[in-house]
Amino acid sequence: MDNIGLIGMASVITAGLCMGIGAIGPALGEGRAVSQGLASIAQQPDETNRITRTLFVGLAMIESTGIYAFVISMIILFANPFWDHLISNTGG
């Protein structure tokens, strides 16, 4: 296998692992946050608006880590600096 194929294969595998591992944490965190939010609303129904507002802000912050993993995997796939280095050294 040539170097271009090797870098392509490593990039795809690394991007897949980045998204796979990077999605586990936010998924578990969002599930736990929603569970606790619903339990809080069940215990204090008068505070539903405040709990819901805080829950949505927290969910947005949790989701941002999944988005960061997605951005990093896109950088690995489409803006990989190893491609430029390999192409400049091989002259292709």
User: Which CATH number is correct for 3-84, 1.10.1740.10, 1.20.20.10, 2.120.10.30, 1.10.1740.110?
Assistant: 1.20.20.10
Q: What is the DSSP string of 32-60?
A: HHHHHHHHHHHH-GGGHHHHHHHHHHHHH
The verdict on pTM exceeding 0.75 is yes
Q: Domain extents for the chain?
A: 3-84
Please write the tens of the pLDDT for every residue from 54-85: 999 999 999 999 999 999 999 988 888 887 77
What integer is the mean pLDDT of 24-38?
94
Euclidean distance between CA atoms 6 and 31, whole angstroms: 38
